[in-house]
Amino acid sequence: MKTLARFACALLVAVQALHAGASPSFSEAAVGSQLYSAPIFSTATSTLASVESDSVLNLRLAPLGSVSSFLVVGPNGSATIDLGGVSSFSFLWGSPDLFNSLSIATSTGIETFSGLDFQSMFGLAANGSNANTRVFSIFAGAGQLLDGVTFDSSGIAFELAVVSPLAEPQAHALMLAGLLIVIYLGWRAGSRD
């Protein structure tokens, strides 16, 4: 019995160690030709986060690219996008600023990254210019899923739009299995005639 308890404790420690080192990772790319739009979001203060379609000097700056609408998180505001447990998420960041930050909720905790962190990671000037508009992708770490992202601004604004999330491999496998079952049932019904 003691051996079983020790094994269970060792297994628990190993799983915790695996999760402790798992952090989300990022990639960055230039703006593509897709159409971007404001995401569905929730906020505690609707006056500090809104969907907009134009720039207003010293208030908000539309991201470059084909953007029909974008989310603006105003000074001291925040907006959360519920991701529901995906492995990756991409967004168009319109004018990266040092005072912008995003908090990523995963199945193992919450990590926050500032505009300064993105400047360090990608050598990007986080100076509020929409000339720095980029697509950023967030990838869950080992043993994690992305549950949500909260965008915060302590300065003028955080402007962003969403791009399609990367397809989950499980969804493709499930669709393929369904298609194979339908083909098999059709073949089986036809061979009886």
% helix, strand, coil for the chain, step of 5: 30, 35, 35
Burial category of 151 from C-beta neighbours within 10 Å (exposed 0-12, middle 13-18, buried 19 and up): buried
Domains of the chain: 26-168 (2.60.120)
Residue 123's pLDDT is: 85
| Arithmetic mean of pLDDT, 71-96 | 92
Among the listed residues 31, 30, 35, 38, the one whose alpha carbon sits nearest the alpha carbon of residue 161: 38
172 band by pLDDT with thresholds 50, 70 and 90 = low
Strands 100-106 and 49-52, how do they pair?
unpaired
Share of the chain above pLDDT 90, in %: 31
- CA angle 31–109–27, rounded 5-degree value: 20
HSE-up of residue 24 (Cα within 13 Å, Cβ side): 29
Please name the residues in contact with 39: beta carbons below 8 A apart, sequence gap of 6 or more. 71, 81, 91, 160, 161, 162
- Range with the lowest mean pLDDT among 1-15, 52-66, 135-149, 175-189? 1-15
Arithmetic mean of pLDDT over the chain: 81
Residue 100's pLDDT is: 92
Residue 5's pLDDT is: 41
| Arithmetic mean of pLDDT, 87-96 | 89
Cα–Cα distance between 72 and 159 in angstroms, integer? Answer: 5
Among the listed residues 76, 87, 67, the one whose alpha carbon sits nearest the alpha carbon of residue 133: 67
Tell which phi-psi region holds residue 76, choosing left (phi > 0), alpha (psi between -120 and 50) or beta.
left
Cα–Cα distance between 74 and 79 in angstroms, integer? Answer: 10
pLDDT digits (tens, 9 = 90+) for 98-145: 889 999 999 889 999 998 898 888 887 777 788 888 889 999 998 899
In the predicted model, is pLDDT for residue 9 greater than 60? Answer: no
| Arithmetic mean of pLDDT, 82-94 | 92
Cα–Cα distance between 70 and 186 in angstroms, integer? Answer: 46
| Arithmetic mean of pLDDT, 79-87 | 94
Cα–Cα distance between 5 and 25 in angstroms, integer? Answer: 35
The reported pTM is 0.71
Cα–Cα distance between 187 and 145 in angstroms, integer? Answer: 39
pLDDT digits (tens, 9 = 90+) for 141-170: 988 999 999 999 998 899 999 864 445 556
